[in-house]
Amino acid sequence: MSLAEKIKVLIVDDQVTSRLLLGDALQQLGFKQITAAGDGEQGLKIMAQNPHHLVISDFNMPKMDGLGLLQAVRANPATKKAAFIILTAQGDRALVQKAAALGANNVLAKPFTIEKMKAAIEAVFGALK
């Protein structure tokens, strides 16, 4: 079993198309345990019930944005060790710095390629294969 097959991934994005693209890219990389949420609040509920190893979250969402979700995940002893990658269409250095200060493991800019997604994940977990 590859490392990718062992990692439970939670995708959090309010755009259905983005969730589908992310899920497809993760499957192409060998991930099998993928869950999706439409906003930060739903993502937080999923993490509370079933902690995942990796959260890939959009920054800009209604109800709870990616940084709010990141703070909540880091504040919970049951989920604080989960890897967290923030997705953003913005090349905003201040956002990247704030995400890092709050404990994000990496940032992935949209639009992304599968290769860039793989590199962002491998920077956290090491080689997937």
Q: What is the pLDDT of residue 111?
A: 87
Please state the rounded mean pLDDT for residues 60-66: 92
Q: What is the DSSP string of 89-104?
A: S---HHHHHHHHHTT-
Using alpha carbons, select from 10, 105, 11, 14 the residue that is nearest to residue 64.
14
pTM of the predicted model, to two decimals? Answer: 0.95
Q: Which residues pair with 56 in a beta bridge?
A: 11, 85
Q: What is the pLDDT of residue 90?
A: 62
Q: What is the pLDDT of residue 65?
A: 94
Please state the rounded mean pLDDT for residues 26-48: 97
Structure tokens at 99: 């995400």
Q: Which residues pair with 87 in a beta bridge?
A: 58, 108
User: What confidence tens digit (pLDDT) does each residue in 88-128 have?
Assistant: 876 678 888 899 999 999 999 888 999 999 999 999 999 98
Domains, the chain, ranges and CATH?
Answer: 3-125 (3.40.50.2300)
